[in-house]
């Protein structure tokens, strides 16, 4: 019997909010740091089609709330063909302007990735192969947490040097430092950043690619002074030292440095904002995130945009959706594995998963999985048993 030609439709859009545990704590600016194990909640979106096939994606409860689901997701998705992902995404995106900020790109990203996951399960294929199947593993760089004042943590340049040495010994092909950022309880400084970068370069030697993600709020003068130090230290890229809403400041900076300037990571505007950054000459490498830019397809548009200008586009953060995209494109080099810290076991599998999505292999790469869908492995028994509310 040939493949099914029946057109399934989406019959279920549900969210479970469940308890899980973590040792990550976030400061008032949202930066992650190691802490004591504690209970948190996460939200799991499940789309179910008329033949019982499901697609899932994790997100924060704030992005999968009852109002978003009842007010936007169900009205758009129920009864529709899940293979019409582009049309469904566009309809949700058009609702954002009038949603008073309650329908964020992170919500669209959760829906879009769940639609991809469902398609993969329907076709019995991993999403990275459906996207094009460019490569089955991706070299990883170790992305540190932001600086802190934790003894033996990331409190001194020597801490960063020792940790970078360990990450290289663990197999990472490159290391990105997030140095000290507000609201750390002392004034971050260019001099401290330079000392940390110099200590790391000294520790790992001249050939390991290094990147710096610094401060986010430096002035042009401070960002330039720090960038010139990176030129001397032979860093690969320089990320978000200033407010990313000023493309002219980034053009001014990029024009004066040898170190490649990468961005934008944090601005709204998806493909359009990134087209403006390239047109303004504000970056040498483009940057985009799957969860923060509305999903895999919208992020892929930015990757293709960069390719048209002979540029690389590096993906922000990790996870199954990011890995699927990295498995399908020629101009993204790295998987950002992290955030990492000397006092945090990044490899510990959280209670709601049965395995990690992105284990580092013996060659310092993350392999793409062959299971159908996005390749995430949820512990559905845990999620059901620990459900605190659902809609």
Q: Given the rule CB under 5 A, which residues bind Mg ion?
A: 213, 239, 265
Per-residue mark of binding to ligand XYH, 125-144 (x: CB under 6 A): ------------------x-
CB 254 within 8 A of CB 230: no
Q: How many residues does the chain have?
A: 391
What is the pattern of x (binds ligand XYH, CB under 6 A) and - over residues 178-207? x-----------------------------
Is 47 or 197 the residue whose CB approaches Mg ion more closely?
Answer: 197
Say if CB 173 and CB 368 are below 8 A apart: no
Alpha carbon of 145 to those of 3, 34, 120, 160, 237: distances in Å? 47, 9, 33, 10, 17
Element (H, E) at 91: helix 85-96
Shortest Å, Cβ 292 to ligand XYH: 10
Q: What angle do CA 164, 159, 285 make, to 5 degrees?
A: 45
CB half-sphere exposure, 238, CA atoms < 13 A: 32
Please say whether the beta carbons of 127 and 119 come within 8 A: yes
Residue 340's binding partner, choosing from ligand XYH, Mg ion, none, with beta-carbon cut-off 5 to 8 A by kind?
A: none
Beta carbons within 8 Å of 51's beta carbon, 6+ residues apart: 4, 6, 8, 122
User: Taking CB under 6 A as the rule, does residue 31 contact ligand XYH?
Assistant: yes
Min CB(294)–ligand XYH separation in Å = 17
**Taking CB under 6 A as the rule, does residue 210 contact ligand XYH?**
no
**Are the CB atoms for 217 and 242 separated by under 8 Å?**
yes
User: What is the footprint of ligand XYH within residues 223-282 (CB under 6 A)?
Assistant: 265
State the binding partner of 184 from Mg ion, ligand XYH, none, CB within 5 to 8 A by kind: none
Among 43, 138, 146, 199, binds ligand XYH (CB under 6 A): 146
Closest CB to ligand XYH among residues 193, 379: 193
Told to check if 341 binds ligand XYH by CB under 6 A, we report no
Residues lying near ligand XYH in the complex (CB under 6 A) are found at 31-32, 143, 146, 178, 213, 265, 316-317
């Amino acid at each position: 019997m040939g493949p099914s030609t029946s057109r399934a439709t989406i019959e279920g859009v549900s969210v479970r909010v469940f308890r899980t545990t973590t040792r990550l704590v976030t400061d008032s600016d949202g930066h992650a740091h190691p802490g004591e194990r504690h209970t948190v909640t996460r939200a799991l979106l499940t789309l179910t089609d008329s033949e019982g096939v499901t697609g899932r994606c994790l997100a924060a409860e704030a992005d999968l709330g009852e109002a978003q689901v009842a007010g936007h997701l169900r009205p758009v998705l129920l009864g529709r063909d899940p293979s019409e992902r582009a049309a469904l995404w566009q309809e949700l995106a058009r609702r954002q302007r009038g949603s008073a900020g309650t329908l964020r790109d992170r919500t669209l990203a959760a829906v879009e990735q769940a639609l991809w996951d469902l398609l993969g399960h329907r076709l019995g294929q991993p999403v990275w192969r459906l996207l094009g199947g460019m490569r089955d593993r991706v070299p990883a760089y170790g992305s540190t947490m932001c600086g802190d004042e934790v003894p033996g943590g990331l409190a001194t340049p020597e801490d960063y040097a020792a940790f970078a040495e360990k990450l290289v010994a663990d197999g990472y092909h490159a290391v990105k430092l997030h140095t000290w950022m507000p609201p750390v309880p002392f004034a971050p400084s260019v001099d401290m950043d330079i000392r940390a970068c110099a200590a790391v370069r000294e520790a790992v030697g001249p050939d390991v690619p290094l990147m710096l993600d610094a401060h986010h709020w430096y002035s042009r003068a401070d960002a330039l002074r720090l960038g010139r130090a990176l030129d001397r230290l032979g860093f690969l890229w320089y990320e978000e030292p200033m407010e990313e809403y000023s493309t002219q400041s980034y053009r001014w900076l990029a024009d004066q440095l040898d170190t490649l300037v990468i961005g934008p990571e944090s601005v709204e505007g998806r493909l359009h904002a990134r087209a403006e950054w390239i047109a303004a000459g504000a970056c040498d490498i483009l940057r985009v995130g799957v969860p923060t830019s509305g999903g895999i397809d919208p992020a892929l548009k930015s990757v293709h945009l960069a390719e048209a200008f002979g540029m690389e586009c590096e993906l922000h953060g990790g996870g199954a959706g990011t890995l699927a995209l990295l498995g399908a494109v020629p101009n993204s080099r790295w998987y950002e594995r992290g955030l990492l810290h000397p006092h945090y076991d990044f490899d510990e599998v959280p209670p709601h998963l049965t395995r990690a999505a992105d284990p580092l292999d013996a060659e310092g790469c993350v392999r793409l999985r062959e299971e159908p869908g996005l390749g995430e492995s949820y512990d559905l028994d845990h999620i059901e048993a620990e459900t605190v509310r659902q809609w």
